[in-house]
């Protein structure tokens, strides 16, 4: 068992370099002061997201590949949510000195596999020891046309969603509540329970939905990272509109989670509205637009009435976010 403290940085980089895709847009890869990335569009988009041990993940609950996949997925979802595709990732890693090299390599493999699947390169990084594990990724990408912003929702638009709402939160509650063995890793035969664990441990955002929504003329789009209640409200405020959620559509999203709700003693409607880290795509389209594959309508956009604020409504009541503010059904 080799620990990272037994290696110098050069040895560690040599060990994991071959796990990382170079990327089709990489003009100069790992090994110099900077990498160089092609951007024939004449601009690029960029986002950064970090995860901290025992805040965002637990070593006992997730395989290291899943931890790497998780932080990659979060960043890739932000790129997709602009209608973009990822060209390159850089990675910052803080590791405990007693971390096994194999564990670290598996984290790197998880990042590399997700980058490869998205067509992106992993083109640089930095590493330090520290008292706990922190993984920071910065993702860069490109859009075929203008990036789809969150402030473009227009009166008359349909609010649509692609992905799985509430599933990650259900997985977290299964683990937090002790309803599953945290060492259960082969979830393939576990149905919706396995899907929820996978969604929490290593979310699989519908990355293709981002560029597809842009191509279909989406007016506004954002990554669903803090739950529909928070994120749709942010979109409404940024756009200066009122968004009215459709309860029956949200209940349809919650229906597959009924069994898990019973196990955890939670209302699946709450998971759908307030659950974080789903990393689905929330977008608005003109009422006559044909929704791209994967998107379901979950609400509509209207103009702000006189004296009214830009906000999010459910059954005519302002959704202010947080668990306590929802009438559950």
The runs of H, that is alpha helices, within 156-257 are: 167-176, 191-201, 209-215, 228-239, 247-254
Q: Which is nearer to a second copy, 129 or 185 (CB)?
A: 129
- As measured in angstroms, the least distance from the Cβ of 189 to a second copy is 35
- As measured in angstroms, the least distance from the Cβ of 155 to a second copy is 21
- As measured in angstroms, the least distance from the Cβ of 188 to a second copy is 31
Q: Which is nearer to a second copy, 146 or 251 (CB)?
A: 146
Q: Which is nearer to a second copy, 139 or 313 (CB)?
A: 139
Which residues form the interface with a second copy (CB under 8 A)?
A: 27-28, 31-40, 42-52, 55-56, 77-79, 81-82, 84, 88, 90-92, 94, 123-126, 128-132, 134, 136, 138, 140-141, 143, 147, 149-151, 222-223, 238
How open is the CA angle 76-79-81, to the nearest 5 degrees?
110
Rounded Cα distance between 118 and 139, Å, is 11
Half-sphere exposure in the Cβ direction for 302 (13 Å, CA): 11
Q: Which is nearer to a second copy, 45 or 101 (CB)?
A: 45
Q: Which is nearer to a second copy, 138 or 267 (CB)?
A: 138
- Supply the DSSP symbol for 187: -
Q: Sign of dihedral through CA atoms 261, 267, 270, 276?
A: negative
Rounded Cα distance between 233 and 277, Å, is 16
- As measured in angstroms, the least distance from the Cβ of 225 to a second copy is 9
Residue 278 phi/psi, 5-degree rounding, is -75, -35
- As measured in angstroms, the least distance from the Cβ of 123 to a second copy is 7
Q: Which is nearer to a second copy, 193 or 283 (CB)?
A: 283
- As measured in angstroms, the least distance from the Cβ of 128 to a second copy is 5
Residue 212 phi/psi, 5-degree rounding, is -65, -40
């Amino acid at each position: 068992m080799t620990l990272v403290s037994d290696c110098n940085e050069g040895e560690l980089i040599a060990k994991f370099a071959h796990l990382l895709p170079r990327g089709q847009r990489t003009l100069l890869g790992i090994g110099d002061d900077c990498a160089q990335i092609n951007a024939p569009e004449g601009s690029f988009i960029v986002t950064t997201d970090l995860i901290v041990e025992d805040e965002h993940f637990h070593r006992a609950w997730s395989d290291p590949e899943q931890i790497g996949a998780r932080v990659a997925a979060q960043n890739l979802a932000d790129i997709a949510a602009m209608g973009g595709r990822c060209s390159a990732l850089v990675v910052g890693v803080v590791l405990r000195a007693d971390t096994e090299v194999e564990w670290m390599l598996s984290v790197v493999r998880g990042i590399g596999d997700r980058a490869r699947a998205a067509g992106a390169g992993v083109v640089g990084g930095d590493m330090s020891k520290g008292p706990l594990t922190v993984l920071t990724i910065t993702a860069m990408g490109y859009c075929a046309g203008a990036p789809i912003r969150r402030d473009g929702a227009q009166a008359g638009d349909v609010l649509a969603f692609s992905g799985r709402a509430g599933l990650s939160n259900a997985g977290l509650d299964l683990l937090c509540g002790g309803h599953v063995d945290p060492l259960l890793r082969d979830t393939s035969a576990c149905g919706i329970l396995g899907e929820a664990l996978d969604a929490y441990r290593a979310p699989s955002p519908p990355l293709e939905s981002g560029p597809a929504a842009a191509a279909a003329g989406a007016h506004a789009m954002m990554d669903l990272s803090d739950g529909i209640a928070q994120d749709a409200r942010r979109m409404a405020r940024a756009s200066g509109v009122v968004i009215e959620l459709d309860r029956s559509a949200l209940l349809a999203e919650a229906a597959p989670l009924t069994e898990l709700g019973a196990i955890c003693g939670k209302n699946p409607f709450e998971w759908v509205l307030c659950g974080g880290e789903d990393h689905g795509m929330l977008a608005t389209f003109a009422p006559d637009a044909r929704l791209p594959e994967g998107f379901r309508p979950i609400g509509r956009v209207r103009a702000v009435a006189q004296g009214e604020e830009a906000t999010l409504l459910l059954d005519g009541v302002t959704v202010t976010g947080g668990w306590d503010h929802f009438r559950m059904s």
